[in-house]
Chains A and B, each alone.
Chain A
Amino acid sequence: MARPVGNSTGTEILRVCALVLLGMIVLFPVYWMAMIALTPTGFSRSLSGIVPEQITFENFIILFTERPMLRWMGNSIFVAAASSFLSLAFGASCGYALSRIKFRGSGLVLILVLATQMMPATSIVVPLYILFRDFGLLDTMQGMVLGHISLVAPLAIWMSKGFFDSIPADLEGAARIDGCSRLSAYWHVTLPLALPGLAAIFIYGFVTSWHDFLFAKTLINSQSLWTAATGISSFRGEYFTLHELQMAAALVFALPVIIVFLIMQRRIVSGALAGSVR
């Protein structure tokens, strides 16, 4: 793209400066989190400037040795992988049907799916708690996975529909002329083509589950089953809050997602534009 308005180098420098300033303000909380996480335990209170005086990794070591951080992250990974995989396994075919077949009520299904994605999770979690209590699913991993499916499945359906919309139907048509049934055309032709997109949706679902706080907080009680989100949030409630440990935990929790995002930036952004809300 050609330079649009300010053709002079002066305005360019001015704009870059303004942008750097704005970027620094916006990224400051992330910087601060890393900074405090690297400060020796108890020393962040006596910091005078905004640069570290002494760098240490002891907070991370405490986190993984004296606190069950590893276990919590393991739980998070399990729940996120299971709920995202199951959501996609069920959601992809539904998204395909919504994308390819015009049937009565398809618009309604889409709107319902969208609406469930956009209503507050607190509305679901209250009755879900009572239901799970009756079914004996409270405080279990199965219950947690089911709860997260209610978060991820609408997203998987909506996003895979958008993705199948972008795959031309011609190839399936060719396969059908060659004698493929609709089901096998979907299974053998479209699905392999859609794999990269489905992988992106899987990651999006994984992150949604990884980020969840409400379901993990309400459906799980025992500390050994906590996900990382509930685990790290518990540090704030402690009587004597240790900022350094808390920030180290926050960093460990946030970093994988930030890295995945940096790697998959373009695809995730276009996925978000396709009409999904976290």
Chain B
Amino acid sequence: MQISNNNKREGGQRAVNGSRVTTFLTEGGGFLLIMLLPALLVLGFVIGLPMLKALILSFDTINFRRPAAAGTFGLHNYEKLIFDAQVWHAVWRSALYMAGTVAGSIVLALSAALLTRRIVHFRALARLAFLIPWTVPAVVTALVWGVMYEGNFGVINRLLDPLPFFDRTDWLIDRDTALPALILAQVWNEFPVAYIFFLAGLHSIPEELYEAARIDRASAFNQFRYITLPQLSSITAVIVILLMIMGFKSFPIIFILTGGGPAGATETMTVLTYNTAFRKLDFSYAATLGILAVFISLAMVLVYLRVMKRAERGVDGAV
């Protein structure tokens, strides 16, 4: 600090006025400003401004089908939202979708992680194999599963055909199977995230716990029940909330495979927002739906932050 003060003084002798500005810019609050401002301006333009516009839109009546109504300001979109059964069905479907993807991903990821941990050979290869679906873009996931689910020639129907009591189904067109079919595609695409976390979590469990259990002749199941599961609890909480957020955001898989159909059976919040804006051209109502979605995801982010903090305290070094 002493030396830097000397420097400042030397600089001051050279150019009295210029140096104070320069010092402010390179050392003090000005430095913070230089570092933060560009990014904050950019974020303000690409995220802040749209959010503000969404708020304005939600009070306006911008519907390209009824251009004359533009400029009618009021709370009508929010009033409509509260009593709109379609919206609350979409929220419910998003919840189902999230629950399905969380449950499916956790079962798949945990079994894969437990198996990967206990083998000695090919561990790196196994890890790589289970991570590959994660690198597949959601658009491609949708296309591939779309081809596999196809009713007449799809490979899933062909593989399941020999099973007794199985009738060929058009998975994405049948009302009862469409949502589970989408969930399966999403699970396939996102379970590797849970897998990575579970591997890290398993890695951080002290081996002494298992050694002690073996001395006490605890069965493999009891070791899992009383050591592995409790030790994984905080990381599981992180995984659950992370997968919930990812499931809530999910758009390409649902949109490309069903577009919300058949007859709205797979219309989640994101797809409903998109359809309201770009199919019904009711941008004001879509913006209102978008704001509802932001509040739902904000709630999840707050839970995520809390859970993350606990996990960092608990499993030190795992995440």
Contact = CB atoms under 8 A, between A and B. Distances in A.
Interface of A: 1-6, 12, 15-16, 18-19, 22-23, 26-27, 29-30, 32-33, 36, 44-45, 47, 50, 86-87, 89-91, 93-94, 96-97, 101, 103, 109, 111, 113-116, 118-131, 146-147, 149-150, 153-154, 157, 176-177, 179, 181-184, 186, 210-211, 213-214, 218, 229, 232-233, 235-236, 243, 246-247, 249-251, 253-254, 257-258, 261-262, 265, 269, 272-273, 275, 277-278
A128 B137 contact: no
Contact of B39 (A93, A236, A251, A275): A93
A126 B290 contact: yes
Contacts, number: 295
A211 B46 CA distance: 19
Nearest to A237: B256
B125 to A, nearest CB: 9
Chain A at the B interface: mostly helix, strand, loop or mixed? helix
Contact of A30 (B136, B153, B197, B300): B136
B72 interface: no
A24 to B, nearest CB: 9
Q: Which 6 A-B pairs have the closest CB atoms?
A: A94-B39, A123-B290, A181-B26, A150-B46, A97-B35, A127-B53
Contacts of B173: none
B233 interface: no
B135 A116 contact: no
A1 B51 CA distance: 50
Nearest to A214: B251
Interface size class on chain B is: 35 or more
A36 B147 contact: yes
B138 interface: yes
Interface string B286-301: 1100110110011011
A211 B251 CA distance: 12
Interface in B203-247: 207, 210, 214, 220, 223, 242, 245-246
B112 A22 contact: yes
B118 A15 contact: yes
B278 A218 contact: yes
Contacts of B68: none
Given A33-B147, A123-B293, A232-B143, 17 more contacts: A4-B118, A19-B126, A23-B129, A33-B140, A111-B301, A116-B43, A121-B270, A122-B269, A125-B274, A126-B287, A179-B7, A182-B31, A183-B34, A186-B35, A254-B135, A277-B242, A277-B246
Interface string B42-77: 110111011101100100001000000000000000
B249 A120 contact: yes
